[in-house]
Structure 1
Amino acid sequence: MAVSSSTSTSQEKQALGSHSQAQFFVWREFVWGAIAGAYGEGMMHPVDTIKTRIQSQAILDGIQNQKSVLQMVRSVWQADGFRGFYRGVTPGITGSLATGATYFGVIESTKKWIEDSHPSLGGHWAHFIAGAVGDTLGSFVYVPCEVMKQRMQVQGTMTSWSSMMMKDGISKSGNPRYSYYTGMFHAGSSIWKTHGLKGLYAGYWSTLARDVPFAGLMVVFYESLKDVTEYGKQKGMLSLNWHVNSSLEGLVLGGLAGGLSAYLTTPLDVIKTRLQVQGSTIRYDGWLDAIHNIWAKEGVTGMFRGSIPRITWYIPASALTFMAVEFLRDHFNERVGGNNLQEVARLSVDNKKSSLQEIS
């Protein structure tokens, strides 16, 4: 009987190990993360265009002539029509494919590795680090796409951009000096020829300074909201007959987590945007100089400029993304890991029976 018990224990460990390995790397997480990220960007790109223009208008038009959200929407529509809201959508979707894939593809494996190998970093610290690592990996593709996207967003039509460049030549107002981009590849090649790799990665560190805390905070808020929801269920605060599909739960909680994280990191987004759109005429000499100048000239209002369209973008984008991921976990993880879990459960019962027989 001792041999039988040992064999069962060995089989159980083997089944647990294979299940752990299957959960450590799930390629579906990368695919669905990429699709969800691209879908969210495509749907919410017009809002992102308004946010980018609002945050960068201090460079383009001067501090005294800055427009409100409604004024900017009207201005884009009058100058460029519906197409104006989708300027830069191709590099935007390309960057979101990369960040969506790495964020959700890496986040689960990183989080579980931290919790298993470094228990002291478990809980919210594990969630924060996992989100930060996943987003950092995507930044190598995302940042060049973000530079191209934002420059295309602020240019508008070729006529309006040419007119602005002529005014810049006369008034020396400090507007960015770069050619009009007809598409993503033209933008990339033009930036490369003019500024090289440094131009494509303009504002890279400011992007990380924004995205690392944003990505980490979003996971922490999401997991915390899930804990609060579960606590409410256990304490009877929610009706026992009340059941919410996990995809719908991901939609609501993901939206709340994304919106809150977006608002708290708006100042970092303002700095990043202005560094990336300023072009050849340098107005801000680095991250710290940008903080000093924006705070001195525009105060709190300047630091949080564009917060409304930023939140408006992130709430539905985050909601759709988390909903897709929860849907994946519900439907695909069960198929992948269901057999192993049943095998582990069966082996555990057999192991207990063998131990009881051995004692008797």
Structure 2
Amino acid sequence: MSLEEDEIEYEGLSSDAGLGVNMLAGALAGITEHSVMFPIDSIKTRMQVIATNQAAIYSGVGNAFSRIASTEGMRALWRGVSSVILGAGPAHAVHFGTYEAVKEFAGGNKVGNQFVATSFAGASATIASDALMNPFDVIKQRMQVHNSQFRSVFTAARVVFKNEGLTAFYISYPTTLIMTVPFAAAQFTVYEYVKKLLNPTNSYSPVSHMVAGGLAGGVAAGITTPLDVAKTLLQTRGTSSDKEIRGARGMLHAFKIIYQKDGFKGFGRGLTPRVLTHMPSNALCWLSYEFFKAAIRD
């Protein structure tokens, strides 16, 4: 088989074999992405939580890292990673499987930059995967917060359900969708645009996948940070000693609380670690995804 035929097959897998390959590649990429960047994500969560305890207030990424490492040990930065591993595989499998299927259906694989099709595919993928991932994300953040009582995913799930009910696992889902739909749309659109710009022949190119993925992740993370702050408030409300935070009812109420407590600057909480997390993690995710897709096919 010629190189040209290999490239065509790589970019256009058959609809039957392609879906399974894309889902497995997505699952492996998701686990890889989240595991590697988890400590920075833990710092982001800590910085976004509106704390009343001075020991839980961090002034920056370096300050948070040194204080957590010195007072709680390095292992604290990995607390909750098991929840991500349990949820990220299935969620990313659904995410990438949906993305590729919808992109093909909507004409996103046609010649040229199909912005509408890739944005629609990215948004569809996010709606499906977040329904599965949201409870795992809640558990993860409950385990990441300062002085968390939880060391086990299953203990955390049981206690949160017992004390707060099923609502605790999905109160942030509307906010998550409002955040991640534009995040995914921006990410996939920027990724496809930059990839085609750097690699117009559509050949397998690790460098172009990494650069495109990193830029896409950074842009998407930056513009959606205010929504991520609101999501963190909702997902960790049960750990707060503040009565109003504990009673947060949804995204708009979370916005009101954030503004009252911290003004407009509150919506930028965790911006730096969020971008630092998503740039390399997205680069790694897309590199892993494209690699696993090609390797599994072979």
TM-score, length basis structure 1: 0.71
Q: Decide which structure has the larger Cα Rg and report it.
A: 1
1:36 aligns with 2:29: yes
Alignment of 1:197-276 (within 5 A): 197-230=166-199, 245-276=204-235
1:21 is matched by which residue type in structure 2?
S
- Determine the C-alpha separation between the residues in 2 that align with 1:328 and 1:285: 41
Candidates 289, 313, 318, aligned match of 2:277: 313
Alignment of 1:306-345 (within 5 A): 306-333=270-297
- Determine the C-alpha separation between the residues in 2 that align with 1:246 and 1:263: 26
1:194 aligns with 2:163: yes
Candidates 113, 131, 135, aligned match of 1:140: 131
Candidates 79, 92, 96, aligned match of 1:104: 96
Residue of structure 2 in register with 1:27 after alignment:
20
The structure where helix makes up a greater share of residues is 1
Residue of structure 2 in register with 1:4 after alignment:
none
What CA deviation, in whole Å up to 9, does each residue of 1:152-207 have, x standing for no partner?
10044xxxx5xxxxxxxxxxxxxxxxxx2231000001111112211222311111
Conservation of the 8 A alpha-carbon contact between 2:21 and 2:293: no
Candidates 67, 70, 79, aligned match of 1:78: 70
What is the CA distance between 1:331 and its match in structure 2?
Answer: 4.6
For structure 2, the 5+ residue unaligned runs are 1-12
What is the CA distance between 1:96 and its match in structure 2?
Answer: 1.6
1:299 is matched by which residue type in structure 2?
G
- Determine the C-alpha separation between the residues in 2 that align with 1:36 and 1:20: 21
Conservation of the 8 A alpha-carbon contact between 1:247 and 1:324: no
What is the CA distance between 1:87 and its match in structure 2?
Answer: 0.8
Residue of structure 1 in register with 2:153 after alignment:
184
Alignment of 1:88-127 (within 5 A): 88-115=80-107, 123-127=114-118
What is the CA distance between 1:36 and its match in structure 2?
Answer: 0.9
For structure 1, the 5+ residue unaligned runs are 1-18, 162-179, 234-242, 336-360
Give the % identical residues: 32
- TM-aligned CA distance change 1:83 to 1:332, over 3 Å: closer
Conservation of the 8 A alpha-carbon contact between 1:99 and 1:135: no
What CA deviation, in whole Å up to 9, does each residue of 1:95-127 have, x standing for no partner?
2213321121111111110128xx9xx921111
Local SS of the residue matching 2:59: coil
What is the CA distance between 1:128 and its match in structure 2?
Answer: 1.1
- Determine the C-alpha separation between the residues in 2 that align with 1:188 and 1:297: 29
Residue of structure 1 in register with 2:265 after alignment:
301
Conservation of the 8 A alpha-carbon contact between 2:141 and 2:236: yes
- Determine the C-alpha separation between the residues in 2 that align with 1:307 and 1:98: 27
TM-align CA RMSD: 2.5
Conservation of the 8 A alpha-carbon contact between 2:122 and 2:188: yes
Alignment of 1:156-167 (within 5 A): 156=147
- Determine the C-alpha separation between the residues in 1 that align with 2:207 and 2:294: 12
What is the CA distance between 1:89 and its match in structure 2?
Answer: 0.8
What CA deviation, in whole Å up to 9, does each residue of 1:263-286 have, x standing for no partner?
111111000001110117442332
- Determine the C-alpha separation between the residues in 2 that align with 1:204 and 1:50: 22
- Determine the C-alpha separation between the residues in 2 that align with 1:29 and 1:205: 27
Candidates 145, 153, 156, aligned match of 1:154: 145
- Determine the C-alpha separation between the residues in 1 that align with 2:178 and 2:70: 35
What is the CA distance between 1:61 and its match in structure 2?
Answer: 3.0
Conservation of the 8 A alpha-carbon contact between 1:246 and 1:327: no
- TM-aligned CA distance change 1:31 to 1:276, over 3 Å: same
What CA deviation, in whole Å up to 9, does each residue of 1:12-41 have, x standing for no partner?
xxxxxxx75336x52111111111111111
What is the CA distance between 1:292 and its match in structure 2?
Answer: 2.6
Which shows bigger deviation, 94-103 or 43-52? 94-103
